[in-house]
Structure 1
Amino acid sequence: MDTKSLKLFISLCDSLHFGRASEACHISPSALTRTIKQLEESLGVQLFERDNRTVSLTKEGERFQEYAREALIQWDVVRNSLLEGAQELQGEISVYCSVTASYSFLYDILSEFRQLHPKIEIKLHTGDAENAIPRVLAGDEDITIAARPDSMPASLDFKHIASSPLVFIAPKLNSELDQLLAGPMNWAEIPMILSEEGVSRKRIDRWFKQHNVKPLIYAQVAGNEAIVSMVSLGFGVGVVPKIVLDNSPLSGRVRILPVEPQLKDYDVGLFALKKKLQSPLIDAFWSQIR
């Protein structure tokens, strides 16, 4: 069964850029254009709106995207069930996580997985941890490693890997900031460096609200690593998972503040769409986590 056209279509859906999609799929832009045109002709509808600058999905394209993703999942299920007992599992799995998660958890996971399933190809994408769950929900990734939110969509499954405290950090050397932190903390005067969004931002916002404090926000950044960097430079106080701090090359330039009450720990684990766990490949990856 030829699923190549569906995979090319999905790649273009993900990037909305013919150049990037063709590069990711190792074909020429003209070949990708021909494939999409053939799909549109066979379906009798236009899947993409495109001009010299932008590419976007039509309503018909969005509906076909749902079908294409589901069809590829079901094809993996059927193919591997037919091969079960005769050959090793083979195919590819896309995994997304932050850089910190990649060397904190992924190395050990993949080391074991590669020994058990050498013919399964892993496509690893790294980026901001706050994008992890949305990418899985959108179908852009099969599995991700991230912190469990306080409320989780019913379509997702979660498997715990580790816990990490969420800590307040300050620069080791900053005389001006040290004066603000010396006595009872007046949070309205302490410059804060916080995540733009995500689990940690929601928890610190709730923490400030419970203490009837309007914080002085110096900067809002994407990524916990950027918070550690800005705090180490003396710009203010930040809030990060301790596991990020432990793995940061700048950990020696910051200190953890003994703030009470403590914030709720990060519950770190794997996320995947429940329907994708029907795939023997994804289930194999999922099941090895004990």
Structure 2
Amino acid sequence: MDFRSLQLFNHLATSLHFGDTAQAMYVSPSTLSRVIQRLEDELGCSLFKRDNRKVALTHSGHKLLAFSTQALKEWQQLKANLKEDEDALQGEISLFCSVTASQSHLPAILRQFRQQHPGVDIRLVTGDPALSIDKVKQQECDLAIAIHTPDMPTDLYFSPLEDVPLVLIAPKEWRLTQLSQIDWTQHQVVMPEHGPTRRIAYHWFAEHGVRPNVYASVGGNEAIVSMVALECGIGFVPKVVLDHSSMANSVTQIPVKDIEPYPLGLCCLQTKQHEPLIDAFLKLDIASAR
């Protein structure tokens, strides 16, 4: 018994006409008769009642029809599944992002990607977000969650995720709640060593004629929250960093309406943008993922 024989049997069980089935299934009537005879020999029973005027299924034939219908359905499903596996994306993709982004943005993104492409392995590296661009440029990763800046290299492709606002924070014990309470000559500032937050903060200071009294320059926005919580000064940090910081309850947010947010997104080399794995990542519906 094979699947071709079951296909012929199924068609004949439906048409109940040897000539019609032979024509529809591209076999000769004699070949069809031999197939049915072989099935009956294998099963040790008659499958059809035949006379000069009609063909009808026997009780055994009805039982085989139920079996063959299910078997052929499962066979077709198996072939479809195997084809999907063959066509599915395979391989590894590397992604760089900050620890904060791995908590705030990455889970929903990866969940959607894994659902669509379960055969792809993801290698995740976390670190200072200011290094994202360099990691992509030096091809230490395929993709990075990065911040778009005015001087972003033209050989990079950027796909936006969302605009991230900056907030000014102060130690809770200092009881500062308004900008007007800050004496910029006395209150020290904690600044990032490099990166977009540093650029935007200095731009804001310049626009307001403030020369910040910098207490320390630190690596990473998370470190700014910690330094401010320890009463080392005040500082600007991305709101998403503060929202995911264990030190958030030790600082106070001071409203600043006119400081620009920065665009957060996925970036890769322009030359790698259309590679299958990277293209699949960039085509995710990020809005629905989050």
| TM range, smaller chain | 0.5 to 0.7
1:287 match:
283
Of the three residues 206, 209, 213, the one matched with 1:212 is 209
Deviation at 1:148, TM superposition (A): 1.2
| Letter aligned with residue 282 of structure 1 | I
1:136-151 pair list within 5 angstroms: 136-151=136-151
Q: Which has the larger radius of gyration?
A: 2
Contact preservation (8 Å) 2:178, 2:255: no
Of the three residues 259, 266, 270, the one matched with 1:263 is 259
| Letter aligned with residue 246 of structure 1 | D
Match status 1:253 vs 2:250 = yes
1:1-290 pair list within 5 angstroms: 86-174=86-174, 178=176, 183-259=180-256, 261-290=257-286
Aligned residues: 204
2:41 match:
none
Contact preservation (8 Å) 2:95, 2:123: yes
Structure 1 residues 211, 92: closer, same or farther in 2, change over 3 A? same
Q: Distance in 2 between matches of 1:167 and 1:142?
A: 31
Deviation at 1:84, TM superposition (A): 9.5
- For normalisation by structure 1, the TM-score amounts to 0.66
Deviation per CA, 1:64-98, whole angstroms, max 9, x where unpaired?
Answer: xxxxxxxxxxxxxxxxxxx9994211111110000
Q: Distance in 1 between matches of 2:225 and 2:235?
A: 7
Unaligned runs of 5+ in 2: 1-82
| Secondary structure of 2:162 counterpart | strand
Task: Give the RMSD, CA atoms, in angstroms.
Answer: 2.1
- For normalisation by structure 2, the TM-score amounts to 0.66
Structure 1 residues 85, 122: closer, same or farther in 2, change over 3 A? closer
Percentage of matched positions with identical amino acids: 43
Unaligned runs of 5+ in 1: 1-82
Deviation per CA, 1:18-77, whole angstroms, max 9, x where unpaired?
Answer: xxxxxxxxxxxxxxxxxxxxxxxxxxxxxxxxxxxxxxxxxxxxxxxxxxxxxxxxxxxx
